[in-house]
Amino acid sequence: MEWQQLAYFQRVATLQHFTKAAESLFISQPALSRSISRLEKELGVPLFERQGRSVQLNRYGQLFLEKVNVALQIIEDGQQEIKERVSPESGNIALSFMHTLGSELVPELIGKYRETHPGVTFQLFQNTANRLMDQLQAGDIDLCLTTVSELTPEICWIELFSERLYVIVPDSHYLANQTEVKLSELAEESFIGFKKGVGLRTITDHLCQEVGFTPRLTFEGQEVGTITGLVSAGLGVALVPERIGIEHYAIQKLSVVDVECSRTIGLAWKERAFVPKVVEQFREFVLAHFKNIEESKR
């Protein structure tokens, strides 16, 4: 049974005339008759009572028409919803990002984009870098803002920017009156860290190992706000990105001088997947936005 057969049946049932129905569908009357005959054969019952050139639904046809009307309406609604979701001016974008990008970067990008595309909506997901890649691979999201360590052939990733990472310490810490620190000096400190799978956890572990120690973690979380708050409470030190607000916390931010402390954020998408125009348009906006920022620094 095909969708077209159902649409043909609905038209004949509405007009109660094969010739008029065929003309309205722009097909020949014999082709329409064959389609209805195949439908009746598949159902195992006649659907119409023939009365010369006119036809009338029998009780089986009336029952079937009720279901066909519902089914075709659902299909029509689905078609309309898909059109709206992929429309460049009213579509929906499934965007995922790491937890550390949720407080400033993502709201800034979406707010700026919606200034010129107010009808576009966003479905937002926060997760660890590893999980974000899994979601992208599975086709659950359109675009992903993340660091990346390993790429598969299906994933395209373009660098957007690099940012410095800083050590934060509580105001009561003996290093709080300094502006710089060697990461190696913190070997005996308690660290407030991120959970495994979070990009910053991988970076922190790697940098500490590079200068000769494994960080001693007293707490593992996902949110930068939680990490920062615990540092402010004197429970340890942490390595955090540049783009976080520290004004409301009793902490100090120190530059690391004995090892290159930074991370790179990029935009990722599944390369050979269907990309709706609304997603393509936003992707180009994000790439152009960071390109303009880099050019303005030169």
Among residues 75, 57, 234, 243, the alpha carbon closest in space to that of 162 is found at: 243
10 Å CB burial of residue 188 (0-12, 13-18, 19+) is exposed
Percent of the chain having pLDDT more than 90? 60
Spelled out in words, what is the top-level CATH class assigned to the domain 92-160+265-297?
A: alpha beta
- Confidence (pLDDT) at 40: 92
How much is the average pLDDT of 91-116?
Answer: 91
How much is the average pLDDT of 165-194?
Answer: 95
pTM recorded for the entire structure: 0.71
Q: Quote the CA–CA distance of 221 and 217 in Å, as a whole number.
A: 11
Among residues 246, 256, 238, the alpha carbon closest in space to that of 178 is found at: 256
130-170: per-residue pLDDT in tens? Answer: 788 888 888 899 999 998 766 778 889 999 999 999 999 99
Architecture of the 163-263 domain: 3-Layer(aba) Sandwich (3.40)
Of the candidate CATH numbers 1.10.10.10, 2.30.30.100, 3.30.1360.120, 2.40.30.10, the domain formed by 3-86 belongs to 1.10.10.10
Among residues 49, 47, 79, 51, the alpha carbon closest in space to that of 66 is found at: 47
Percent of the chain having pLDDT more than 70? 97
HSE at residue 68, side-chain half, CA atoms within 13 A, is 22
How much is the average pLDDT of 2-27?
Answer: 90
CATH 3.40.190.10 intervals, the chain: 92-160+265-297, 163-263
Q: What are phi and psi of 196, to 5 degrees?
A: -60, 140
- Confidence (pLDDT) at 137: 87
How much is the average pLDDT of 266-290?
Answer: 90
Residue 14 has pLDDT above 70, yes or no: yes
Cα distances (Å, whole numbers) of residue 285 to 230, 281, 288: 36, 6, 5
Residue 184 has pLDDT above 90, yes or no: yes
- Confidence (pLDDT) at 245: 64
CATH 1.10.10.10 intervals, the chain: 3-86
Mean pLDDT of the chain: 89
**Which of the four pLDDT bands, split at 50, 70 and 90, describes residue 176?**
very high
Residue 279 has pLDDT above 80, yes or no: yes
30-87: per-residue pLDDT in tens? Answer: 999 999 999 999 999 999 998 776 889 999 999 999 999 999 989 887 887 777 677 7
- Confidence (pLDDT) at 84: 66
Distant-in-sequence, close-in-space partners of 70: CB < 8 Å, separation ≥ 6: none
**Which of the four pLDDT bands, split at 50, 70 and 90, describes residue 246?**
low
